[in-house]
Amino acid sequence: MKIIDPKDVSVAEFHGLMLGAIAPRPIAFASTMDQEGLVNLSPFSFFNAFGSNPPLLIFSPARRVRNNTTKHSLENVKEVPEVVINIVSYSMVQQMSLSSTEYPKGVNEFVKAGFSEMPSQIVKPPRVKESPAAFECRVRDIISFGKEGGAANLVICEILLAHFKDELFDDQGKIDPHKLDAVARMGGNWYCHAQGQALFEVEKPVKNIGIGVDQIPEPIRFSMVLTGNDLGKLGNVPQLPLKEDIEEFGNRDEIREMKVRFQNDKEGLVIHLHQYAQELLHEGKTMDAWKALLQTTLEMG
């Protein structure tokens, strides 16, 4: 491991390392307004959701590392403590990037980047019509962490009203990530497109208490085939399958063929059963994977 003390390198260097490693980061496409009514639109990847009661979002228009100047978005929310956080989809990422240009104060990035202003219902700043979702927010607090370049300014926002395009929802009324088609920020010039193979599901361990990796039998836990992710799935089951279910599973043609093929090669049988179990895990058939793996324990005595 390469160990770096932030005090031993420049702010710019550590800034780049942080953003390269802490990724992907969601993007707050923030529309704000100053006391003269001039609109600003700017993206921030120092952003996330931090609570739902009340619903809170926080983004940070940090002081510029390069020249220690502050951003118009920060100045605006100090004058008019309201903001709309617009979500960025892949179809608008290039325009969003263009809006991050450091135009002079008073220049409307909606116009420069080719976005359409939509009047908000509660707050003064407009929302981005092209955005798949937008949150009208009141600024609850601004916490500054210094006056040097790179210093954070946490803008704590309470959501007052949310807007979602109708086409985002699936049949269960939940937001479909494929339809959201979101993008996220990586380091340097890199972005991440949340689509295709980048999207995958991980079952949350909230319905049942899993047995844990420590309770997986050692011949399986120290498998030459199974990965840490595989073990995580196996450890998320509340209990192991019953002996009769394991024996019944062993009557499957593929299992019986393996046992015949490797009847004089116990190590080969173990490896192939583990490979078969891994395939089942990739298909989301965790209990079947357990039944395959526990054939090993039956065969090994």
Evaluate if residue 106 carries a pLDDT over 60: yes
Evaluate if residue 244 carries a pLDDT over 50: yes
Strand, coil or helix: 32: strand
Q: For the domain 6-198, what is the CATH code?
A: 2.30.110.10
DSSP secondary structure, 100-130, as one string: TS-PPTT--HHHHHT--EE--SSSSS-EETT
d(CA 233, CA 281): 8
Evaluate if residue 160 carries a pLDDT over 70: yes
Domain boundaries, the chain: 6-198, 213-300
Helix axes 253-261, 286-300, angle to 10 degrees: 30
Please, which pLDDT band fits residue 299 given cuts at 50, 70 and 90? low
HSE-up (13 A, CA, CB side) for residue 65 = 9
d(CA 65, CA 150): 5
pLDDT, tens digit, for every residue of 45-78?
A: 999 999 999 999 999 999 998 899 889 999 999 9
Model pLDDT, residue 126: 98
Angular region, 117: left φ>0, alpha ψ -120 to 50, beta rest = beta
Nearest to 210 by CA among 241, 242, 237, 233: 237
Strands 183-185, 47-52: pairing is: unpaired
Between CA 181 and CA 128, with CA 32 as vertex, the angle to 5 degrees is 35
Q: 91: which 2 tokens?
A: 């179809």
| pLDDT, mean over the chain | 94
Among 60-64, 69-73, 138-142, 280-284, which range has the highest average pLDDT? 138-142
d(CA 72, CA 41): 9
Model pLDDT, residue 203: 79
